[in-house]
Amino acid sequence: MIPANLLRPLTLEATLTTTPVTVVVPTRNSARTLERCLASVRAQTHPVELVVVDNASTDATRRIAAGFADLVLERGPERSAQRNHGWRAGSGEVVAFVDSDMVLEPRVVEQAVAALAADAALGGLVIPELSFGEGFWSRCRAVEKRSYLGDPAVEAARVFRRPALAEAGGYDEALSAFEDWDLADRVAAAGYRIGRVAATVWHDEGRITLRSAFRKRRYYGRWLPVYRAKASARSFGRPRSLRRLARLGPPPRTAGVALLKAVEAAGLFAGARDAGREGRR
**CATH label of the domain that carries residue 183:** 3.90.550.10
pLDDT for residue 13: 60
pLDDT for residue 110: 97
Average pLDDT, the chain: 91
What is the residue range of 189's domain?
Answer: 4-207
Considering the domain boundaries, does residue 228 fall inside one?
A: no
Question: Do the beta carbons of residue 267 and residue 217 sit within 8 Å?
Answer: yes
The H-or-E segment that residue 280 falls in is none
Q: What is the pLDDT of residues 153-184, one digit of tens each?
A: 999 999 999 999 999 999 999 999 999 999 99
Considering the domain boundaries, does residue 245 fall inside one?
A: no
pLDDT for residue 256: 94
Distance from C-alpha of 243 to C-alpha of 123, rounded to nearest angstrom: 30
Task: Specify the length of the chain in residues.
Answer: 281
Could you give the number of structural domains in the chain? 1
pLDDT for residue 16: 73
Distance from C-alpha of 154 to C-alpha of 5, rounded to nearest angstrom: 38
Considering the domain boundaries, does residue 279 fall inside one?
A: no
Considering the domain boundaries, does residue 52 fall inside one?
A: yes
pLDDT for residue 15: 67
pLDDT for residue 4: 39
pLDDT for residue 19: 85
Considering the domain boundaries, does residue 119 fall inside one?
A: yes
pLDDT for residue 235: 86
Which residues of the chain register pLDDT less than 50? Answer: 1-11
